[in-house]
Amino acid sequence: MITRLVHLTRSLLSPLSRRYARARKRHVWEKYWSRDDFSPAWGGRAISPEVEEAVDEGWLPAEGPVLDIGCGLGDISAWFAQRGYRTLGFDIAPSAVERARKRWAHMETPPEFHPLDACIMSPPDWQYKILIDRGCLHQISENDHGNFLANILRVSAPDARMMLYIRAFRDGIPFGDPEEQHMKEERIRDTFYPFFEIERIENVYIDKHWGAVPEEALPGMVFRLIRKS
């Protein structure tokens, strides 16, 4: 009887705990982005060289639509929009979205920006061919990875291509450590299986100095993923 009560209590509390965690995360990011002086080490990065390379070599298609996941101030969205792609960026913090809209309002065809939590709902369904996540998924609890993936899948094209950046090689782990690489690769493979397959992995720096300033360096990995039709 006690065991059954314990399982019942856990089953009731788990969804409540997740909702609380999501609400708290939204509150934290909104608090950050509502500050005019908020300038994180990963901010102001413009476009990542890996994304630019993927476009130049044709791995990312020449046409969109493009989904900028966790867009922040919209640098990635604007870069694609300037090149003629139909682009939408979303962020969990309404203040970030509002700042992005104002920042790129001068463009002839600016991106669309929406406040949205991808663990709860999907972005507008444009059947995106290009998905860019430069640090959103690794901010989400693993318990919510399934919700995140389901909401992204609903709006992505059958042959969508995704570039996913995650943190790695932190807390004293050497950059490029093979064990860390393997662990991260297996985690991403398990998260996206069987809907995406990994085509390529690179070790990268995801801070605005691209690792050139050691005290602000943010090492990580970028995955090239292809949706399996």
Instruction: Identify whether 65 is preceded by a cis peptide bond (ω within 30 of 0).
Output: yes
Measure Cα distances from 36 to 50, 194, 212 in Å.
29, 42, 26
- CA-nearest of 92, 57, 42 to 211 is 42
- CA-nearest of 124, 36, 33, 28 to 74 is 33
Q: Say yes or no to pLDDT of 7 above 80.
A: no
Sign of CA dihedral 171, 41, 148, 185: negative
> What angle, rounded to 10 degrees, do the helices at 94-103 and 2-33 form?
30
Order of strands across the sheet with 219-227?
A: 112-115, 87-91, 66-69, 128-134, 156-167, 219-227, 196-205
Q: Say yes or no to pLDDT of 14 above 70.
A: no
- pLDDT-derived band at 88 (thresholds 50, 70, 90) equals very high
Give the phi and the psi of residue 84 in degrees, each rounded to 5.
90, 5
Q: Say yes or no to pLDDT of 38 above 80.
A: yes
- The residues that bridge with 79 in the sheet, in sequence order, are none
Q: Spell out the residues 6+ positions from residue 167 whose beta carbon is closer than 8 angstroms to its own.
A: 135, 138, 206, 218, 219, 220
- The pTM of this model reads 0.90
- pLDDT-derived band at 3 (thresholds 50, 70, 90) equals low
Coil/strand/helix, residue 149: helix
Q: Say yes or no to pLDDT of 67 above 90.
A: yes
Predicted pLDDT at 8: 44
The pLDDT tens digits for 125-148 are: 999 999 999 999 999 999 999 999
Q: Name the domain count of the chain.
A: 1
What range defines the domain where residue 132 resides?
2-227
Question: Hey, what are 66's tokens?
Answer: 């493009």
- Residue 4 vs residue 15, higher pLDDT: 15
Predicted pLDDT at 23: 85
Mean pLDDT value of segment 15-26 = 79
Predicted pLDDT at 12: 45
Q: Say yes or no to pLDDT of 32 above 60.
A: yes
The pLDDT tens digits for 108-127 are: 999 999 999 999 999 999 99
Percent of the chain with pLDDT over 70: 93
Instruction: Please state, in angstroms and rounded to a whole number, the distance separating the CA atoms of residues 60 and 53.
Output: 9
Question: Hey, what are 125's tokens?
Answer: 């369904």
Output the domain CATH number for residue 217.
Answer: 3.40.50.150
